[in-house]
């Protein structure tokens, strides 16, 4: 089965960036604030842009081959990939609370069960669950995204443009400022889905005649990525996500390039394969930082992160992968796996996670 070479490596860099952020690694090694902030703002956006690109590519391929999208099959595949491990993590925390090792408020459980932790206020936060805000944002987007394709790809593309404009407007105008005292509104579904939408636009670019005419060359992609990253420092958030999308496209169009070969380094690609488990367990076991609300759980940060790299592979091979095999029952047709690498990358051995 074909796959996009280098994308597992990008996932690995994303999850390692998240772990480094929670471990305060950049501060510990003495990086200056500007570079540390840049690296801290890499992990989740990279996950989101990758996810938007791959899922949108799958929906475009299904529309191209079959003329429509099987929405319920899409939901079933997403549920099989995301929910089992998420519920397992919640079950562990429930057991810890039952044995009086931790205590979560009712509103925390309510947000966790309803997949709305991105809307939780400060009084409903629990550190070992706080990283699940990004999972909530992603799943909210994918509740409506396949529905947009029912009206056709052109309509879906317009929806993406509107989402980008609305999200950037919310971040730019300060309309969210009144909520910042009690919430983190940047994590709300709007504007949180902005990088996912940017990834989706990148997928439409690959599908378009512009890409076939090589409108954006390899060199131009690099220049564009750097330019977008520079503009980001003027607080135009979408340009940072555009820079990430340019790097993603650079890897996509240079499957035999040096960067892709580096990203295909086997240990790095392996971490990308188990990236969803790493992301889940680094938060639950590592506490998403050094702060501890209870003395017995999570364990000390260093021990928690060490346990993460032990538990995540076991979780992948013994729990996640057997469940993922059930996704085959919800594929629209065998020929959805080709032609081209994009669909295989979504439904193959490197599923999109967060």
Give me the pLDDT at residue 236, please.
Answer: 64
Q: Which of 107-111, 298-302, 307-311, 314-318 has the lowest mean pLDDT?
A: 298-302
Mean pLDDT in residue range 121-137: 95
Q: Could you tell me which of 278, 325, 304 has the C-alpha nearest to residue 85?
A: 278
Mean pLDDT in residue range 145-155: 96
Give me the pLDDT at residue 301, please.
Answer: 93
Check whether 212 has a pLDDT greater than 60: no
Give me the pLDDT at residue 296, please.
Answer: 85
Average of per-residue pLDDT values in the chain: 87
Please give the C-alpha separations between residue 49 and each of 30, 45, 102, 206, 241, in angstroms, as whole numbers.
Answer: 29, 6, 35, 14, 7
Confidence bin at 344 (pLDDT 50/70/90) = very low
pLDDT tens-digit readout, 254-278: 899 899 999 999 999 999 999 999 9
Check whether 141 has a pLDDT greater than 80: yes
Mean pLDDT in residue range 65-74: 94
Check whether 163 has a pLDDT greater than 90: yes
pLDDT tens-digit readout, 280-302: 999 999 999 988 888 889 999 99
Check whether 204 has a pLDDT greater than 50: yes
Share of the chain above pLDDT 90, in %: 69
Check whether 76 has a pLDDT greater than 90: yes
pTM for this entry: 0.90
Check whether 340 has a pLDDT greater than 50: no
Give me the pLDDT at residue 327, please.
Answer: 83
Q: Are 127 and 285 in contact, with CB atoms under 8 Å apart?
A: no
Check whether 132 has a pLDDT greater than 80: yes
- Higher pLDDT: 213 or 160? It is 160
Check whether 214 has a pLDDT greater than 70: no
Check whether 353 has a pLDDT greater than 50: no
């Amino acid at each position: 089965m074909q796959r996009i070479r280098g994308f597992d490596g990008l996932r690995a860099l994303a999850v390692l960036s998240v772990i480094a952020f929670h471990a305060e690694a950049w501060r510990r090694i003495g990086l200056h604030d500007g570079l540390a902030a840049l690296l801290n703002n890499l992990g989740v956006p990279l996950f989101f842009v990758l996810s938007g690109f791959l899922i949108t590519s799958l929906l475009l391929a299904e529309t191209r081959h079959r003329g429509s999208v099987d929405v319920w099959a899409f939901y079933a595949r997403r549920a099989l990939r995301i929910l089992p491990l998420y519920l397992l993590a919640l079950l562990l925390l429930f057991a810890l609370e039952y044995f009086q090792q931790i205590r979560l408020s009712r509103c925390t459980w309510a947000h966790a069960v309803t997949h709305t932790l991105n809307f939780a206020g400060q009084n409903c936060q629990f550190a070992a669950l706080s990283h699940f805000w990004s999972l909530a944002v992603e799943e909210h987007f994918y509740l409506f995204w396949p529905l947009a394709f029912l009206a056709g790809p052109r309509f879906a593309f317009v929806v993406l443009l509107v989402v980008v404009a609305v999200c950037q407007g919310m971040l730019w105008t300060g309309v969210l400022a009144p909520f910042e005292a009690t919430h983190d509104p940047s994590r709300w579904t709007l504007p949180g889905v902005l990088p996912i939408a940017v990834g989706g636009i990148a997928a439409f670019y690959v599908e378009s005649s512009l890409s076939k005419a090589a409108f954006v060359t390899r060199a131009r992609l690099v220049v564009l990525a750097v330019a977008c990253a520079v503009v980001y420092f003027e607080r135009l958030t979408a340009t940072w996500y555009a820079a990430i999308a340019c790097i993603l496209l650079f890897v996509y169009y240079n499957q035999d390039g040096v960067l892709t070969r580096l990203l295909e380094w086997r240990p790095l690609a392996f971490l990308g394969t188990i990236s969803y488990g790493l992301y889940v367990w680094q938060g639950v076991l590592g506490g998403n930082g050094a702060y501890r609300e209870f003395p017995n759980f999570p364990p000390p940060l260093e021990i928690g992160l060490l346990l993460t790299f032990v538990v995540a592979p076991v979780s992948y091979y013994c729990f996640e992968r057997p469940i993922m095999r059930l996704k085959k029952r919800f594929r629209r047709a065998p020929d959805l796996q080709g032609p081209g690498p994009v669909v295989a990358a979504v439904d193959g051995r490197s599923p999109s996670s967060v």
